[in-house]
A and B are shown apart, each in its own frame.
Chain A
Amino acid sequence: QQQVKQSPQSLIVQKGGISIINCAYENTAFDYFPWYQQFPGKGPALLIAIRPDVSEKKEGRFTISFNKSAKQFSLHIMDSQPGDSATYFCAAILSGGSNYKLTFGKGTLLTVNP
């Protein structure tokens, strides 16, 4: 059972456009939601993260929107640049004793055309 569902699988955006990636989860015990960026041949790197008591978090061109009632969250990349081309993973972590085990979505391959 996939606990974190991510869409779309791939996304092509023109330079300067907005990239939007969506995720949904089932387990209400998740209480921390990070986004990871992965370039080819590299490991995932933490990009931005949010807790469910906050509806939005912005860091530079990257914004997470969180809808707790719908159990959905999304990543928005404003003014997308070719250097943003990478695979993006949403993830979730349980509260309590298992607050180390990342559960990842399947990833979104983002291509930003110049």
Chain B
Amino acid sequence: GAGVSQTPSNKVTEKGKYVELRCDPISGHTALYWYRQSLGQGPEFLIYFQGTGAADDSGLPNDRFFAVRPEGSVSTLKIQRTERGDSAVYLCASSPTRLAEGSSSYNEQFFGPGTRLTVL
């Protein structure tokens, strides 16, 4: 079946503009994650959705960043007043059913190819 898809694959914008990045998770996956991967770095956690709600948004760097998942499937990461430092690859991942609180299991996260954002 289809994996996680992200659009656009590349986005070039000017400083101060608003951008939206879209993620289509694997069908049936209830959990969705956004990560940011800067050049030469590993991905860094931004936000985690369980269904429609943001269960953990502690990784969002500031209030210019916002993400939604209104129907519990597709998610959009929104960045206002973009800055050059926002340039990075934004990765989306999804995983199947929710784990119980405190579970010792790990739900594999399946990553999309990412959106490369360049802020000029």
Contact = CB atoms under 8 A, between A and B. Distances in A.
A42 B59 CA distance: 22
Contacts of B91: 43-44
B41 A107 contact: yes
A100 B112 contact: no
Contacts of B104: 31, 95, 99
Contacts of A43: 4, 91, 93, 111-114
Contacts of B45: 101-103
Contacts of B44: 104
Given A43-B113, A100-B33, 9 more contacts: A6-B42, A34-B106, A43-B91, A43-B114, A95-B102, A100-B48, A100-B109, A101-B56, A102-B43
13 contacts: A4-B42, A32-B106, A43-B113, A45-B111, A49-B106, A89-B43, A91-B42, A96-B102, A97-B101, A99-B103, A100-B56, A102-B109, A105-B42
Contact of B42 (A100, A101, A106): A106
Contacts of B97: none
A91 to B, nearest CB: 7
A114 B108 CA distance: 32
